[in-house]
């Protein structure tokens, strides 16, 4: 059975933190679906099309990685894709608490799906999309925090 993982997120925009987690997960799975979840209540800086293009350009040529978008519950999407794993990254205790609650909730709903966490690499743990958006809003040099494909 193929080992398929879904890496769900907002990717508004993708950062070198996300990139690091995805790259390190490549040897662990047969396929990784990087999936942009659409949340109607969230205000995004980048449109869905822009965020998707950043991901497509970033992972161009890596066969194991697929880019997609979805709405609704992550577990429903994961099952629809015949995946058994959700991939998430952990930066700090706040991430841990948040991710723990989500993972338990998902597991309560769907026992077949395991969430797999990778710890951020040292030097990447401070990078977050929200801070990158702040840097962009204030005309700072955001390029050192994001893959080359992310350009305004």
With contacts defined by CB under 6 A, name the span among 26-34, 86-94, 107-115, 132-140 that binds ligand ADP.
86-94
Name which of 102, 99, 144 is nearest 119 in CA terms: 99
| CB distance 25 to 5 below 8 Å | yes
CA separation for the pair 32, 45 (Å, rounded): 25
Nearer to ligand ADP, 1 or 23 (CB): 23
Query: 4 or 22: whose CB is closer to ligand ADP?
Result: 22
Using the minimum distance from each CB to ligand ADP, give the nearer residue, 1 or 27: 27
User: CB of residue 132 vs ligand ADP: minimum separation in angstroms?
Assistant: 10
DSSP state of 46: S
Tokens of 116: 């797999």
Choice from 68, 128, 133, 135 touching ligand ADP (CB under 6 A): 128
Is 55 an interacting residue with respect to ligand ADP (CB under 6 A)? no
């Amino acid at each position: 059975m193929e080992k398929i993982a879904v890496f769900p997120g907002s990717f508004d925009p993708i950062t070198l933190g996300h990139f690091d987690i995805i790259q390190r997960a490549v040897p662990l799975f047969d396929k990784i679906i990087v999936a942009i979840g659409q949340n109607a209540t969230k205000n995004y800086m980048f449109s869905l099309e822009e965020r998707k293009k950043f991901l497509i350009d970033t992972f161009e040529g890596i066969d194991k990685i697929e880019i997609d978008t979805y709405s609704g519950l992550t577990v429903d999407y994961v099952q629809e894709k015949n995946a058994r794993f959700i991939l998430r990254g952990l930066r700090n205790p706040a991430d841990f608490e948040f991710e723990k609650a989500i993972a338990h909730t998902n597991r309560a709903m769907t026992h077949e799906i395991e969430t797999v966490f990778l710890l951020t690499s040292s030097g990447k743990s401070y990078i977050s999309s929200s801070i990158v958006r702040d840097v962009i809003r204030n005309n700072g040099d955001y390029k050192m925090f994001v893959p080359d494909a992310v350009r305004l």
